[in-house]
């Protein structure tokens, strides 16, 4: 049964299920090659907890971390598709929709900046 996103455990489930799919996706997986996923996951738990739960858990500059990657519009589309699919697989309600809206708006901002810099393939 689907539930609301209301605890740290829910956020961890969402993020880990999302990464399980991303790391199997032929378009996205190469971007994560060489990254220590066991170190990356807790950062992402903190990022999404701070957005969806309490405002705490992440201090960083997420955009900058994407500059060294060779990202394309197709990759962002796939990333969002997998994210939305994962959210709806497990969750429903206000926070679930908020997660999707935030992901879309951050993806939009990342792409606009990368495009401006001539870095969006
Ligand atoms: C094409 C789509 C994307 C790909 C392939 C991608 C890939 C990555 C990779 C490989 C890292 C690790 C970078 C590193 O530690 O060196 C990373 C970090 C991160 N990404 Fe993405 N990303 C994408 C889109 C997004 C979007 C849309 C969001 C937000 C909704 C996001 C949020 C983050 C955050 C918060 C970090 C952690 C930054 C830190 O370590 O402080 N990413 N991403």
Q: 100 falls in which pLDDT band (50, 70, 90)?
A: very high
Q: Is the Cβ atom of 62 under 6 angstroms away from ligand 1?
A: yes
Q: 87 falls in which pLDDT band (50, 70, 90)?
A: very high
User: Does residue 14 surpass a pLDDT of 90?
Assistant: yes
Closest residue by CA, ligand 1 atom 33: 62
User: Does residue 1 surpass a pLDDT of 90?
Assistant: no
User: Does residue 7 surpass a pLDDT of 90?
Assistant: yes
Q: Please state, in angstroms and rounded to a whole number, the distance separating the CA atoms of residues 46 and 40.
A: 10
What distances in angstroms separate CA 48 from CA 8, 29, 119, one per listed residue? 9, 20, 26
**How high is the pLDDT of residue 121?**
87
**How high is the pLDDT of residue 69?**
95
Q: Is the Cβ atom of 80 under 6 angstroms away from ligand 1?
A: no
- Residue 98 counted as domain residue: yes
Predicted confidence (pLDDT) per residue in 47-73, tens digit? 999 999 998 899 999 999 999 999 999
- Residue 3 counted as domain residue: no
Q: Is the Cβ atom of 120 under 6 angstroms away from ligand 1?
A: no
- Residue 1 counted as domain residue: no
Sign of CA dihedral 35, 103, 59, 11: negative
- Give the mean model confidence (pLDDT) for residues 31-37: 97
pTM above 0.95, yes or no: yes
Q: Which domain holds residue 100?
A: 8-116
Quote the number of domains for the chain: 1
**How high is the pLDDT of residue 112?**
98
Q: Is the Cβ atom of 35 under 6 angstroms away from ligand 1?
A: yes
CATH number for the domain that contains residue 72: 1.10.490.10
Contact 28, 78 (CB under 8 A): yes
């Amino acid at each position: 049964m689907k539930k609301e996103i209301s605890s740290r455990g829910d956020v961890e489930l969402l993020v880990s299920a999302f990464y399980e799919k991303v790391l199997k996706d032929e378009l996205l997986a190469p971007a994560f090659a060489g990254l220590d996923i066991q170190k990356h996951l807790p950062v992402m738990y903190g990022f999404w907890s701070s957005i969806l739960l309490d405002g705490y858990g992440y201090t960083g500059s997420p955009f900058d971390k994407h500059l060294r990657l060779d990202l394309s519009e197709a990759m962002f589309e796939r990333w969002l598709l997998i994210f939305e699919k994962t959210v709806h697989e497990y969750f429903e309600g206000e926070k679930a929709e908020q997660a999707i809206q935030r992901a879309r708006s951050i993806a939009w901002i990342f792409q606009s900046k990368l495009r401006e810099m001539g870095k969006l393939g």
